[in-house]
Structure formats: structure tokens, C-alpha cells
Structure 1
Amino acid sequence: MSSIRPWRTIERRKSRQIMVGSVPVGGDAPITVQTMTNTPTSDVKATVDQIRRCEDAGADLIRVSCPDVESTSAFKQIARAATVPLIADIHFHYKRALEAADAGAACLRINPGNIGSDDRVAEVVRAAKANGCAIRIGVNAGSLEKDLLEKYGEPCPEALVESALDHIKLLQDHDFHEFKVAVKASDVFLAVAAYQGLAEAVDCPLHLGITEAGGLIGGTVKSSIGMGMLLWSGIGDTLRVSLSAEPEEEVRVGFEMLKTLGLRTRGVRVVSCPSCARQGFDVIRTVEALEARLQHIKTPLSLSVLGCVVNGPGEARETDIGLTGGGNGKHMVYLSGVTDHTVQDADMLDHIVQLVEQKAAEMDAAEEAAKAAVEAAE
């Protein structure tokens, strides 16, 4: 499709690839979606339960804070229970990094310049190498080094980039190269400019984020504008949407962002109208119900839900399954863009869910058959 629609093509920045556990980050690997737990890490059950919800939402990587010994002690059990690689969030206590690496962390989120002497950096690098850990350098406008604030007068793109390069050098001086970097800010303009500057200066994978973005609606908008600008220009290898909301919501927003730009496909992409007086059914409540009931679908497919025939047939031609409102409580259903049958109001929701589940099963079976044919040919 992109070959005949060049205006839809995003050329990703060329970065080198690292491994975070079993997940490749950078290079030509898919852009990964991350989130972070907010339960007390020492509460193993609560943390694992939250990780399960994030895994079900599709998280590729999950970060877990390790502020104390109780947390790193629990981390080993948590890491064994998780099905995706875990990142241990460390700030100033380098011993927590050593403990987390030994406990099964796939990556350490730590700024080497914040943990003290070069000997401590060397210890963390040795632990990371011994355990196959990557490292994520996380520069934040809200916690820039004092000397950089004195030099530049305030947080600015140049200060964030310089901080990142300083931290990178500390790792490279110890021959460590399995790292990714973030230069986050709550200010969208500052964050975007910093990422653009860093993208030109280094070839490592970049972790995108607009930090302290806000609540579910405001934070989604803010993150989408900032990260959307970067992703559209090809910058970004992994991302976290930082919301004051449940972690699984961060994952869903992240995937919606990538789906919108055609960078990842997962689950049902819903095309729906804002509704008006012409609607043949309650579009808003219908879409809410369908989104909730179709969260378990991982197969990428599209569903259009339009309240009337003004745009309904046109949108249905572009989606796998379409629903358009009609008169007398009877609505038109489209399959693969073609008018197929009608459905009554009372049966509409269950019927559409059933059609989506059937379509997903057919697509999964076709994919498995294609894989089997390739393997047999080899």
C-alpha cells in the first residue's frame, strides 16, 4: 500500500539494535510499547497482577521501580512470573542496580553519572554484562545536573542532549554499548527539540516519552502530539505514554498511536463517527461497548461503525467489517467492504462481536497455514 501512497510512508531513523531480554529494540525491530507498574514492588502479588493486565493489553516491556532492598528482593519472584522482559528502575542507589541485575532484570534504568564514583559505574557495567542486561539512560528536564543548569540557565534542548552524551560516555568508557536513551520533558516543544538533537548525535535506540503528561485525556493528547511529531519524522525505537491512569491504559494509548501512523498493527482499529441527529443507533454507546468487548482481540483488523448512510458505505469499503445505521431499527452490515446483510438493534452488539471474532480466527488460521507452507517448502 505504501508504495502507491508515498505520502503515507514513514522512513525510520537508522539506529543500532540492542536486546532487552528477548525483545529487540532499535534497528528494523518493531517500535516497542512500555509501561510501568505503580504497586509497591515489595507486594509481589499486587505487582504481578498488574503486570498480567499490562501483558494482556500488549505491553512489550514493563518497568518496575526498585527503590529499596525489599523491592529488589521481591523483583526475582516478579521477574520469574512475568512473560515479558522487566526493566528495573534505579536512580541513585547503585547497589539496587547490582541486586536487580542478579534478580533477573532485562534492563536497568539508571543514569551512570548519578551514582557516584567511576568505580561504581564499573560495578554496574560488570553486573549488566554478567547478567545480559541492557541499560536505559533516562535524562529528564526536571532533574538535570546542577552544572548544566548553571551553564545554560534553564532546561533547554542543548542541556538535555549534553547530559545524555555525558552519561553515554561513562558507559562507553567501560566498553558498554547495550544502551538506549531518553531525553524527556513535560514541555512538548522542549522534548521534541531534545530528541531531534540527540537523534543526530548518536546511533543508539531512543526511548520516547513526554514525562508527567497528565491524566488519561490530557496526557493522551499531549503525548500524541509530542511523540507523534517524532514518530512521524522517523525518530523513536521504543516508547512509554506517561499517564496518571492505570498502566494498561498507557499500553493501549501507545498502540493506538502506532496504529494511527501505520507503525504497528495490533487488535481492532475502530473507525467511527462522532454521531449526529441522523444516527440510526446510539453510536457513542455502541462504540464504547464494542471497544470494551473486543479488547481480547490481538489480530489486526478494522471495524467501521457509522450512524447513517452519509459516510457509512464509503468507510465500510475500507474496513474488514462495517456497520451503518438504517431506518426502523435495521442496520446494514458490510463484510470486506461489500454490502452483506442487515441486523436488528437488539442483536447488533452481539452480532458484530461474533463477526469480529470469526474474522480474527480466519485471519489467524490463514497466517498459520501460510507459515506451515513456508516451513514445508524449506
Structure 2
Amino acid sequence: MKKVIDLARERKVPVRIGVNSGSVEKDLLAKYGHPTHEALVESALRHIRFFEDNDFGLIKISLKSSDVITTIQSYRLLAEKTDYPFHLGVTEAGTLVSGAIKSALGIGFLLLEGIGDTLRVSLTAEPEEEMFVAWSILRALKLRQRGVELISCPTCGRTEIDLIPMVQKAEALLKNVKTPLRVAIMGCVVNGPGEAKEADVGIAGGRGSGILFKKGERVEKVPEPELLERLLAELERMTGEKIRSSKS
């Protein structure tokens, strides 16, 4: 490790100290019984002292557990003991849906408390999905503004358009849009108009048709089969980005 430190110092490259619940030192497991948040923090402090003893302070700390509560408790405790930057994440969080939920809870709680400097979402999924979830967390917390925030309603008895496939297709097509926008796709005339007006662009569904809103103003009434296409066309005009493919 001393050679790594010397090379990092020479090149002025930061080093991340990563403590993982799956590889906590044996003596700490014996002391605490299992990888508790106290064990993770004590392990991290050992590594921090080693780097400090070698006169190297360009470090960042990560405390990774697959348990959300342990992750939150670990970072909270270490934040009381050091001012080094933190790299947040819930490790081995699982598949796309369950992993996104665990990551949003663990990372989101800490960011709301002002803890954390960088983050990684760890999913059993493609790296692009990890990036999408990470950006979605930051966007939901208003910490970063990039891409589309998609607002859509649950399907209830008031829904009057075929909402689920429309929203699924919209989400897939809008995933790579860079312009920060709020887009609403609502299925009824009760809450739909209010949400659609609050969005940059929105649809409020009705019986066999829907109303397109832009920046709070009603634009036009559109037949249901044309709603999504009309919405996407409006978004392309607003962003200057290509959203629809020739097959969409």
C-alpha cells in the first residue's frame, strides 16, 4: 500500500478507501458479532489512520452494506468522526426494481442530511440502468437538473385512456433526453388538468381523447391514438433533441 500511496502522491490522484460489509476484518467480526455499522466505521478509521500516518490525505471513504439501515447508520457515525469526502452507495442492492428502491432510500436519506459527495448505484443490471437510477435520485432531490421527470397517475376507475402502455413507451423514448423537463401523462379529467398544467408539457386524458398542455396553457384537444405522438413532437420542438425514431 505504501507504494500505491507514493504513486498516488506523485500523480496527485485521490484514493478511495472502500469498506464493504462482505470483507470486514476478522477481529472486528469477532468483536461485534457481524458487520454492524460500528464495525464498518472502525475498519474505515483504521485505514484512514494508515493513510494519515503515511502523510497522504487525498482520500475518499465509502462504507458499503447491502442493508439500507446499516449503510445509513455507518455514514452518519463516520460523519461525526471525520471530514473526508464520502462516496455513497448501497452495495449489492439487487435487481433493477428492488435495487433502485434500496438505493433511493439509502442514498436519498444521506443526501438529504447533507452527507455524501459522490455516489454509485449498484444493481444486477446493465450499467446504463445504474446511471439512470442515480440521475433519477439526484433529480428527485433537486440536486441535479438533467433529463425528464415523468409524472403519471395510477390507474383507477377514472382513467379514460390506455395509460400504462402509453407511459411505458414515453419513458423508454424520453430516457436519453438531456434537457431538464417535467412531463405529465395523466389519465383522467379530475387530477389530470392540474398536473398537466404544472408540467412543462402534459396530457390530461378524457374519453377517447386528451388535452395537450404546454407551460400551463391549453394547446389543443387530441384524439387518443395521436396523444403520445403529439406530445413527443412538442417535446422535440422544445428541446431540439431527437426523441422519436422512424419506428416509433
- Whether the TM-score (by the shorter chain) exceeds 0.5 is yes
| 1: CA distance, partners of 2:180 / 2:219 | 22
Query: How big is the alpha-carbon RMSD for the aligned residues of Structure 1 and Structure 2?
Result: 1.5
Task: Tell me the residue number matched to 1:138.
Answer: 18
Secondary structure of the residue aligned to 1:201 is: coil
Task: Tell me the residue number matched to 1:184.
Answer: 64
| 2: CA distance, partners of 1:226 / 1:151 | 26
Q: Deviations over 1:202-255 (max 9, x none)?
A: 111111111111111111112222222212212111111111111111111111
Task: Tell me the residue number matched to 1:305.
Answer: 185
Q: Deviations over 1:78-124 (max 9, x none)?
A: xxxxxxxxxxxxxxxxxxxxxxxxxxxxxxxxxxxxxxxxxxx2210
Answer yes or no: is the 8 Å Cα contact 2:89–2:120 preserved in 1: yes
Q: 1:253 aligns with which of 125, 133, 137?
A: 133
Task: Tell me the residue number matched to 2:202.
Answer: 322
Task: Tell me the residue number matched to 2:216.
Answer: 337
Is 1:361 equivalent to 2:235 in the alignment? no
Secondary structure of the residue aligned to 2:149 is: strand
Task: Tell me the residue number matched to 1:150.
Answer: 30
Q: Unmatched 5+ residue regions in structure 1?
A: 1-120, 363-378
| 1: CA distance, partners of 2:232 / 2:17 | 43
Secondary structure of the residue aligned to 2:155 is: coil
| 2: CA distance, partners of 1:289 / 1:317 | 22
| 2: CA distance, partners of 1:244 / 1:308 | 36
Q: 1:267 aligns with which of 139, 147, 150?
A: 147
Structure 1 residue identity aligned to 2:234 = L
| 2: CA distance, partners of 1:291 / 1:267 | 11
Higher relative contact order (CA 8 A, sep 6+): 1
| Counterpart mapping for 1:276-291 below 5 A | 276-291=156-171
Q: Deviations over 1:282-336 (max 9, x none)?
A: 1111111111111221011100110011111111222100101022x22100110
Identity of aligned residues (%): 49
| 1: CA distance, partners of 2:151 / 2:168 | 12
Answer yes or no: is the 8 Å Cα contact 1:216–1:244 preserved in 2: yes
| 2: CA distance, partners of 1:359 / 1:340 | 14
| Counterpart mapping for 1:3-82 below 5 A | none
Structure 1 residue identity aligned to 2:152 = S
Q: 1:175 aligns with which of 31, 43, 55?
A: 55
Task: Tell me the residue number matched to 2:39.
Answer: 159
Task: Tell me the residue number matched to 1:209.
Answer: 89
Q: Unmatched 5+ residue regions in structure 2?
A: 242-248
Shift of residue 187, structure 1, vs aligned partner: 1.5
Structure 2 residue identity aligned to 1:344 = P
Task: Tell me the residue number matched to 2:7.
Answer: 127
Secondary structure of the residue aligned to 2:108 is: helix
Answer yes or no: is the 8 Å Cα contact 1:297–1:357 preserved in 2: no
Aligned residues: 241
Answer yes or no: is the 8 Å Cα contact 1:318–1:337 preserved in 2: yes
| 2: CA distance, partners of 1:251 / 1:332 | 33
Answer yes or no: is the 8 Å Cα contact 1:161–1:198 preserved in 2: yes
Structure 2 residue identity aligned to 1:136 = R
Shift of residue 132, structure 1, vs aligned partner: 3.3
What is the TM-score of this pair, normalised by structure 2? 0.92
Closer/same/farther in 2, CA of residues 223 and 296 from structure 1, 3 Å limit? closer
Shift of residue 150, structure 1, vs aligned partner: 2.1
| 1: CA distance, partners of 2:224 / 2:149 | 22
Is 1:227 equivalent to 2:107 in the alignment? yes
| 2: CA distance, partners of 1:210 / 1:296 | 25
Shift of residue 177, structure 1, vs aligned partner: 1.8
Shift of residue 153, structure 1, vs aligned partner: 2.5
Secondary structure of the residue aligned to 2:131 is: helix
Secondary structure of the residue aligned to 2:198 is: coil
Structure 1 residue identity aligned to 2:143 = L
Shift of residue 361, structure 1, vs aligned partner: 3.3
Task: Tell me the residue number matched to 1:238.
Answer: 118
Shift of residue 194, structure 1, vs aligned partner: 0.6
Structure 1 residue identity aligned to 2:224 = D
